[in-house]
Every structure is written in structure tokens, then in C-alpha cells.
Amino acid sequence: MKRTGILNRHLSGALALLGHTDRVMVCDAGLPIPDGPVVVDLSFRSGVPSFSEVLDGLLDELVVEGATAAREITGRNPEAAALLAGRFPDGLLELVPHEELKASTRGARLVVRTGETRPYANVLLRCGVPF
């Protein structure tokens, strides 16, 4: 059994399959998920686990070279907007219209669904390499 890090076997296994430029959508409980990507649904109850908990756990395990979120997050969920700004400084975060972000979920290799119920708590991570 793993001692540290992500213990969920489905999520840990899916992360191990990711490579450079693969995309991972970390989403709230309400984002529509299209057929195609592998989905690991961590949602348990409203707010559990939170977007920030899951995002931080993933960032501890992945090399991320960029991220994309919905432009609407700034006005509709300032707490999540501040979280993303803090995790992705120096232009690593691109903001696009929400409809565009939803459409980009089709191209994700992995979708990780949280229990987050605050609006626009979604981010598409682009995997990098550690060298």
C-alpha cells in the first residue's frame, strides 16, 4: 500500500499513464463530462472533496506546464480565481470563455470530478516534464 500521496487507486493509476502535453480537467460537481476521457469521480457530498484539496493533491504529483480556466471565474467565484492565480503565476494560467473550456474537456485524457459546488471551479491542466 502507498504510504503518501494520492491513495485512490483509480486516480493514482490514471496519473501514472499521463505523458507530456496530456491534459487533465479538474472539475466541479456540475461540469458536463463528455464521452471519451477517463473519469475519476471523487465527489462524495456537496463540497467534499473541495476543488482546492484535489487541485493541490494533483499539483503535488504532476509536472504542469500550463493551465486553462473559465474567464467567468473572476467575477463568479473570486476565491477559486485567487487560488488559481496563486498556483499558476507568471502567465501560466490562460482564461477563456466557459463554453470554450467545457468544449476542451473532450480533448482531456483524464477528468477528475470533485465535490465542489461553487460555480466555475474548473481548470484544465497541461502536463509537462520534470527536465
Q: How far apart are CA 22 and CA 41, in angstroms?
A: 19
Was 122 annotated as part of a binding site? yes
Let me know: does 65 contact 126? Beta carbons within 8 Å.
Answer: yes
Was 82 annotated as part of a binding site? no
Q: Please provide residue 125's backbone torsions phi and psi, each rounded to the nearest 5 degrees.
A: -95, 140
Q: How far apart are CA 13 and CA 50, in angstroms?
A: 21
Query: Whose grid coordinates read 471519451?
Result: 36
Was 98 annotated as part of a binding site? yes
Was 121 annotated as part of a binding site? yes
Was 10 annotated as part of a binding site? no
Residues known to be catalytic: 20
Q: Which residues are annotated as a binding site?
A: 28, 98, 120-122
Q: Which residues are annotated as a binding site for substrate?
A: 28, 98, 120-122
